[in-house]
Structure 1
């Protein structure tokens, strides 16, 4: 889930796209925050990790670019750690809705241009937007939706790109095997598109209308949520 958020976070989803530069501030280094911060490090970005718990700060000191202990609900404390100069900040506070909201509001007061915040519930997310979050994510809800699709259907992987457009990974169905994709009438019949294919023992590669699938291939399809679900759940 952190990977999905990172893919869009650096460009921002505000009305005016934000060009990221400098350290990314990750506030709240629990399971979600630490995973997100570590992934950003692996992608080559500098990360300032912030948490109010000194034990967590100590544990993360060797993993991130910089780690500090601070009360992020306080504008003065945020200013002292350089938050006023940051372009991107992610509020990952997992417990304490009040702390999450106050931290987000403080970042907005400092003029941070690209504020992401983790929400637990829809009302929580609504408040975060009202106080200044440019983007709100619901990792628990997103993960629940993803797992639901994996345990109830034939999908091996599922990812929502927005409210109504998704991609899914599944084994190539018998009706597509041995025929060029351009001759399968797949889009007209199911309203989905095969975007890439992975042969057994191979790597994913682009699919086109001349691609011929084999029995052991995996495919990734894209389409509106209902169409992808209908295709994956057919007999």
Structure 2
């Protein structure tokens, strides 16, 4: 018998077997979060606040006690595949492995989820080697929170960028102030894409709503630009006076 000890939860569906229609709804919208460290608990709390169905699993009784009543959760050792089956893992289209301090536990849990056919698996990694192992066993999305945060902050503190989001394959989106040479001109006049290889997605004038950019969009000194492109080209564009 797997080590699964249910804890009180504010939602009734956790007690007993939900009807078929409800199980189908969970299959399209529910998220199983495994591990309630800083990463996993932040995900579970945010999903709950946004109104998504979430079930969290944590092996530490002390940590479970800290979060009881804040979102549905159970005490379970998910390195055991039988525990995942008892939790109803097949009812969840998305699972998040928030365990990072124990490489062995992280890999075992992720491997169990892969073997059980979870459609989307997200997992936290604490190193490049950890990330490589998770990808090799079939995890769909690997997150390195510390490395990603460090990379983002480095771009912000070293230049004029207000925000920085690296999507993938060197495609990046930034929030920035417009260089002087673009101020007072429309996008068609300034030819930003042709001259710098980046694309202005939208403009946020002070005190006004965000607007998607068109060739006729005129940029002013106090605007905030949302710009996409490769990281190197964006850095060069943002470095313009």
Range of TM-score over shorter length: 0.7 to 0.9
Is the contact made by 2:34 and 2:96 (CA closer than 8 Å) also made in structure 1?
A: yes
What is the count of residue pairs matched by the alignment? 215
What's the counterpart of residue 28 of structure 1? Answer: 35
Distance, in Å, in 2 between the alignment partners of 1:183 and 1:99 is 57
User: Please, which of 33, 45, 50 is the counterpart of residue 38 of structure 1?
Assistant: 45
Over 3 Å counting, the alpha-carbon distance change for 1:188 and 1:22 in structure 2 is: closer
Is the contact made by 1:50 and 1:69 (CA closer than 8 Å) also made in structure 2?
A: yes
Secondary structure of the corresponding residue to residue 21 of structure 1: helix
Q: Which runs of 4+ in 1 moved over 4 A?
A: none
- Write out aligned runs for 1:59-208 (5 A): 59-64=66-71, 66-208=72-214
Secondary structure of the corresponding residue to residue 161 of structure 2: coil
Is the contact made by 1:84 and 1:107 (CA closer than 8 Å) also made in structure 2?
A: no
Distance, in Å, in 2 between the alignment partners of 1:169 and 1:85 is 39
In structure 2, stretches of 5+ residues that fail to align are 1-26
Query: CA-to-partner distance for each residue in 1:172-209, whole Å, 9 max, x for gaps?
Result: 22111111111101111101111111111223221211
User: Please, which of 45, 54, 57 is the counterpart of residue 50 of structure 1?
Assistant: 57
Distance, in Å, in 2 between the alignment partners of 1:115 and 1:150 is 30
Q: CA deviation at 1:48?
A: 0.4
In structure 1, stretches of 5+ residues that fail to align are 1-19
What's the counterpart of residue 216 of structure 1? Answer: 222
Q: CA deviation at 1:169?
A: 0.7
Is the contact made by 2:203 and 2:210 (CA closer than 8 Å) also made in structure 1?
A: yes
Structure number with greater Rg is 2
Distance, in Å, in 1 between the alignment partners of 2:206 and 2:50 is 28
CA RMSD of aligned residues (A): 1.5
Q: TM-score, normalised on structure 2? A: 0.84
Q: CA deviation at 1:22?
A: 4.2
Is the contact made by 1:108 and 1:132 (CA closer than 8 Å) also made in structure 2?
A: yes
Query: CA-to-partner distance for each residue in 1:95-151, whole Å, 9 max, x for gaps?
Result: 111110010111122221211111111211111122231221212111111000000
Q: CA deviation at 1:229?
A: 1.1
Q: CA deviation at 1:24?
A: 0.6
Q: CA deviation at 1:234?
A: 2.8
Q: TM-score, normalised on structure 1? A: 0.86
Distance, in Å, in 1 between the alignment partners of 2:148 and 2:229 is 18
